Amino acid sequence: SPAFKILLNKSTLKPPPTPAPGDGKCQTFWIPYGRYCYYVHNGKQGFSWPDSHHYCQSAKANLVSIHSRAEVEFLRNLNYTKYHNIWIGLTRDRNFGWGWTDLTSLGFLNWAQGEPNAAFHPGEVGEENCVEMYQDGRWNDNNCLQKRGFACRHRQCKDIFFKLFDIWIKYRELQALFCSLHFGSQSSQEKKSKKSF
């Protein structure tokens, strides 16, 4: 039947290639993909584009820039709660047009049909200068004050950061061991001081 052929054709399509893993690591709650770490916030409470951008910057990241269909699919899978569409780092400047907040090149585009349309809706305060990603992965320009989820991205941290942290932890453990061997534990110190009274 024709429906079976369509289903068969869809199932034989190759998925987008996954990039090679990076040489660094990601902090807790950040998900590695390629050379980057990603964080998607999509709780019941949404945030404006400026608030989302500020959150990402405070985490030493940027709103996500997207450079391939594979990255779109990766983000769609991360956006598992789907309370809102998510803000991405694409924004429009009156003088320069569309650009990513992390200043990477604008080579890959994934606009929904009819977008960007810079629509102005009655009752809205501003223009549509910020971009959200729909649940299907397509992009829409929207008013920056709308409440949405958001996705942040930063380069993976080099192993040296994690190695230094591990060394510091081991140093603290060795310091505690040294003190307990040479001076006794704190509880034995307290017992000795109580006996002297």
Tell me which of 122 and 74 has the higher pLDDT: 74
pTM for the full predicted model: 0.68
pLDDT at 8: 40
Q: What is the pLDDT of residues 113-122, one digit of tens each?
A: 999 887 655 5
| Token output for 99 | 């650009």
Q: What is the pLDDT of residues 130-152, one digit of tens each?
A: 999 999 999 999 999 999 999 99
| φ and ψ of 25, to 5 deg | -135, 170
Query: Is residue 193 pLDDT above 60, yes or no?
Result: no
User: With 0-12 CB in 10 A as exposed, 13-18 as middle and 19+ as buried, what is 48?
Assistant: middle
